[in-house]
């Protein structure tokens, strides 16, 4: 990734980074860090869950693998979103350093 006066450039969070300034970088970092924690906790719980038959009817048993597959794809989608948020937070942290906002403030805002 390339370093510029406004921060780090490159990756899927370019649209976010174009809206970042010294006035909002810490607040955005806090908000995204909180989202990452919430997603991480939800994924831990979801990854231990298995889809079972809805009832004793013959269709439920046949449909269960399809529902499990859909459930696993949904978990994978959310895991990818978490990864993208983590990339954005790394970039925001680097940008906060470039903006010279102070290590203590940066550490408090990017606690993930």
**CA 54 to CA 34: how far, in whole Å?**
34
What kind and span of H or E run contains 80?
helix 58-98
Confidence of residue 5 (pLDDT cuts 50, 70, 90): very low
pLDDT at 11: 59
The alpha carbon dihedral of 63, 65, 68, 73 has a sign of: negative
Structure confidence at residue 12 as a pLDDT band (50, 70, 90): low
**What is the structure's pLDDT at 96?**
96
pLDDT tens-digit readout, 33-85: 999 999 999 999 998 999 988 888 989 889 999 999 999 999 999 999 999 99
Percent of the chain residues past pLDDT 90, beyond the cut: 67
What mean pLDDT value characterizes the chain? 88
């Amino acid at each position: 990734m390339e370093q510029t006066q406004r921060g780090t450039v490159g990756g899927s969070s370019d649209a976010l980074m174009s809206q970042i300034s010294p006035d909002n970088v810490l607040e955005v970092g806090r908000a995204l860090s909180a989202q990452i924690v919430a997603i991480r906790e939800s994924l831990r719980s979801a990854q231990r869950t298995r889809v079972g038959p809805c009832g004793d009817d013959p269709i439920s048993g046949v449909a269960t693998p399809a529902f499990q597959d859909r459930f696993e794809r949904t978990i994978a989608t959310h895991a990818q979103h978490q990864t993208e948020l983590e990339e954005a937070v790394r970039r925001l942290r680097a940008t906060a350093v470039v903006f010279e906002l102070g290590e203590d403030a940066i550490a408090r805002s990017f606690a993930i």
